[in-house]
Amino acid sequence: MKFYIHLKDNLLVKNKKRWSQIMYMTYILDYMAYYKPLGMESGAIADDNIRDSSRSKCCEDNCLRLHAEQPWKGTTDAAQEIINIKFEEKFWVTGIILQAGAMGERVTKIKVEDQKETPVMWPTTVEASSGTPEAWSSPQQTGTRTSLAGSRTSRAGSSTSRAASSTSRAGSSTSRAGSSTSRAGSSTSRAASSTSQAGSDASDTRPNTPHGNSTVTHLLEPKVLTDQLTIKLLDWTGKNDTPPQPPCLRMEILGHADASNKPLGMKSGAIKDKRIKATPKCSNENSLRLEAQNPWNGTTAPEQKISIDLKEKLSVTGIILQAGDMGRRVTKIKVANKNQY
C-alpha cells in the first residue's frame, strides 16, 4: 500500500485554511472511487458468473456472497480451491473483502491471477457477543494458551515461596513480624489468586481469533484489469486437521470501471444518430457505428469531417476504426475538439 506525505507551502496555500480537511476528503473520495463493491453482496454479479473448482455455481445453500447466511464450503480433499468470477465488462480489481465462515473458519493464503502468493492478515481480537458462535481454534493456538497457563502457575508457586520467606524473617523482630506476616498473607493470597487465574486460563482454550462475522480487506498491489477474476485458495484453517476441513468463506470484490478505454456509445447506440454530424448523415443504411451491416460512405471531397456530440465533457483516449465494405480503409486522420478548429 502506498504511503503519501503532503507538505503545505504557506506561499501557495493561504495561512489558517483547513488544508488537512481537504486531504481527508481527497482520501475518502479516492477510496470511494477506486474501492467500490463490484456486486458480490448486492447480486449485480449473477450466480451463474460465480464458479468454484467443481464448476458449481453460487446458490443460497452454498453462497460466496458477503454476509450470506450459508457460507460457501469447498471440498475436503483438495490441495487448493479455485474461484472464478466473471464480470460483464473489464474492471480494475483493487481488493477483496474476505469474511470468515459461520464458525470462524478462515482462508489464510490466496493467489489472485498471476500475482504472488500472499497471506491474509486477519484481525486477532475476539469480538464476543451474545449468540456469537465460538471462534475456530487450532491445536497450535491451544498449546500456546496452555503453556501460558503453566507459566502463570509457576509464577504462583514462586509467590508462595516468597511468602514463606517473609514469614521466617518475621521472627527476627517483634515490631516487624506483624507487618511481614501481613505482607506474607497478602503474597499468599495473591499467589492463590494467580493459581486460580492460571487454572481458569488452562480451561479456556479459545484462541485469539475472529468469529464468524469477522471480515478482512485484502488490497491488491498492483491492481488487476480483467473481466474474469481467478482467485486461488492455498491455505485455510483446518486444512491439516484429521480429518481435514474444507475451506469456508464469503467475499466481496472491490474495484472500479476501466474508464481509460471504455466505449462511449457508438456501437451500443448510446450516442444517438442526431448527435453524429456527417455528410451524408448517419443512418441504418449508411452507418458510422462499429460492426454496422451498412458502413458509412462519404462523398468524393478531398476531406471528410465527422462531428460527434458527447453531451458532456469526457476524456477521449482513442478511436476504433473498422474497414468498410470491400476492405476500404481510412489511412490518415486528425482528431480535435471544437476549440481546436
Question: Distance between CA 216 and CA 196 in Å, rounded?
Answer: 36
In the prediction, which pLDDT does 339 show?
Answer: 57
- 71 found inside a domain: yes
Residue-level pLDDT at 170: 40
Q: Which of 183, 203, 223 is the last residue of a domain?
A: 203
- Same domain for 122 and 42, yes or no, is yes
Do 150 and 183 sit in the same domain of this protein? yes
Q: Residue 8: inside a domain, yes or no?
A: no
Are 43 and 103 contained in the same domain? yes
Can you tell me the distance from the alpha carbon of 34 to that of 2, in angstroms, rounded to the nearest whole number?
A: 14
Residue 296 near residue 288 (C-beta atoms within 8 A): yes
pLDDT value, residue 247? 93
Q: Do 50 and 128 fall within a single domain?
A: yes
Residues 53 and 66 in one domain: yes
Cβ count within 10 A of residue 106: 24
Q: Are residues 244 and 332 in the same domain?
A: no
Are 108 and 119 contacting, i.e. CB atoms less than 8 angstroms apart?
yes
Residue 9 lies in a domain: no
Q: Which residue, 154, 169, 203, sits at the end of a domain?
A: 203
pLDDT for the residue numbered 137? 32
Tell whether 244 and 195 lie within a shared domain: no
Structural domain containing residue 319: 263-341
Q: Which residues are bridge partners to 179 per DSSP? A: none
Asked if residue 186 and residue 314 are part of one domain, the reply reads no
Mark whether 156 and 126 lie in a shared domain.
Answer: no
For residue 164, tell me if it sits in a domain: yes
Residue 164 and residue 291 in one domain: no
Q: Are the C-beta atoms of 36 and 93 separated by less than 8 Å? A: no
Give the Cα separation of 75 and 81 in Å (integer).
8
CATH number of the domain enclosing 216: 2.60.120.260
Identify whether 14 is part of a domain: no
Tell me: do 306 and 340 sit in the same domain: yes
Pairwise CA distance, residues 118 & 110, whole Å: 6
Q: Is 92 a domain residue?
A: yes
- Give me the residue label for grid cell 484453517: 237
At residue 333, the pLDDT reads 92
Helix intervals (H) in 204-336:
none
Domain count, the chain: 3
254 within some domain: yes
Q: In terms of domains, do 57 and 108 share one?
A: yes
Instruction: Output the pLDDT for position 276.
Output: 92
Task: Let me know if residue 299 belongs to a domain.
Answer: yes
Q: What is the pLDDT of residue 260?
A: 72
Mean pLDDT by 10 residues, the chain (341 residues): 67 68 76 90 93 80 89 88 93 94 91 94 57 34 37 45 46 44 46 43 39 82 94 94 92 88 86 90 87 90 90 84 90 78 45
